[in-house]
Amino acid sequence: MPPSKQGSSHAVTTRRQPEEDRAGVSTLNRRQPELLARAPHQALAADVLRAKVLIVDDQQANRVLMRHTLPRGEVDIIEAGDGLEALRLCAEHEFALILLDIRMPGMDGFELAAALSRDGATREIPIIFVSSGGDDMSHIKSYQFGAVDYMTKPLNEQMLASKLRVFVELWRSKRQLHQLLGVLEERNKKLEEEITERRRIETLVRHQAQHDALTSLPNRILFLDRLDTALERAARHHENFALLYIDIDGFKPVNDNHGHLVGDELLRHIALRLCKNVRKTDTVARLGGDEFAIVLEEVASDRAALQVGLKICEALAVSYVLEMPDGLVTVRVGASIGVSIFPDHGRNRNDLINAADVAMYRAKRSGKNHAALAEPPSGSVALLRDRLAARL
């Protein structure tokens, strides 16, 4: 060591790399513009890729000597005169390499390396121990404290330059990889958001295609699909179900006297009452205008299905108090309901619908606000046999 001893200092030295030194640039660094071209807004700036090297030695003369020994390149050289100052600098900067003197007063190089290894933010920093002695025990102890290499003073300039380039390239490659992973993660996140939004729109479009815009009930398309499903299930399990066709009595006068806004609000309230008077497993649909339909799953008997229809007539006949922009409007309507049963009144969609429709008009002719059960189809031996087989 030089005879004079200076206090600790913190200096930054920046040098441009000459053409002859840039020949050793790695393939990854040469391809950096190509790799980051897909995300130019996130490309790493040149100063972000500048590596920092920390020299830790209690002798200023030694620090100056090592600084001048390091190859000229696009690196920032930062100096620390003791272990505590080095710890503070490691907390403020990200270093590609630390050149660490072993023998220092206070916190020596081994103690500093041990402190850095206990911190998750600094334990990965490569450390090259520098010592004026070359005994085997120092070598062994250096590697025990996490050193990646060991050099003795006076430092060989070419060897130090070679080691520096290796660790700077590794640091830059790590930064580039981290950046590329960040770009990929951001793009994956945006892709997931786009997929989620697309699925939301598809779900909305599918719902709008299958549901009534005014009441949010299943529309005719979804109703027919549910009816076909009920037919298949009932035939497979030898069960029965009921189809209710509903026509609102007195709806046209409400529209004529109070306007379409009141009529629309009335239809929404009718839909709510229909849903409240059936099970969640049943299907309530609006077929259009003031016509509704219900698929009652697994009814116990013809009479039970008819009783549901009569209960709905009573519920719909209660006065409606509608909150409109101009105030409350009170209206009353009724319902005519036709009820058909699978398989008694039909084994396919058309037969069941026709039977329920005929029964509904029969209910209207009988005085409205009434439910009527469909009549059995014209008797034949084959049909009676089928009905008996289905019930068995």
Residue 316 sits in a domain of what CATH number? Answer: 3.30.70.270
Interatomic CA distance for residues 266 and 273, integer angstroms: 11
Whole-number pLDDT of residue 72: 65
Does 208 fall in a domain? no
First to last CA, the chain: 108
pLDDT in tens, 16-34: 443 434 433 344 444 444 4
238 in the same domain as 164: no
165 in the same domain as 38: yes
173 in the same domain as 228: no
255 phi and psi, to 5 degrees?
A: -60, -45
329 in the same domain as 275: yes
155 in the same domain as 258: no
Weakest-pLDDT range from 45-59, 107-121, 261-275, 298-312: 45-59
Does 193 fall in a domain? no
356 in the same domain as 301: yes
pLDDT in tens, 161-188: 788 888 888 888 888 888 888 889 999 9
Whole-number pLDDT of residue 384: 47
Among 290, 302, 344, 357, the one annotated catalytic? 290
Interatomic CA distance for residues 279 and 364, integer angstroms: 26
Per DSSP, the three-state class of 53 is strand
pLDDT in tens, 84-103: 999 999 999 989 888 888 88
State yes or no: pLDDT of 241 exceeds 90: yes
Catalytic residue flag (residue 290): yes
Number of separate domains in the chain: 2
Average pLDDT, the chain: 82
Q: Could you list the residue range(s) of the whole structural domain that residue 173 is in?
A: 12-186
DSSP 348: S
Task: Pinpoint the alpha helices (H) of the chain.
Answer: 27-30, 32-36, 60-69, 83-92, 109-117, 136-144, 157-210, 220-237, 251-258, 260-276, 302-317, 349-365, 381-391
pLDDT in tens, 31-49: 444 444 444 444 445 556 7
76 in the same domain as 157: yes
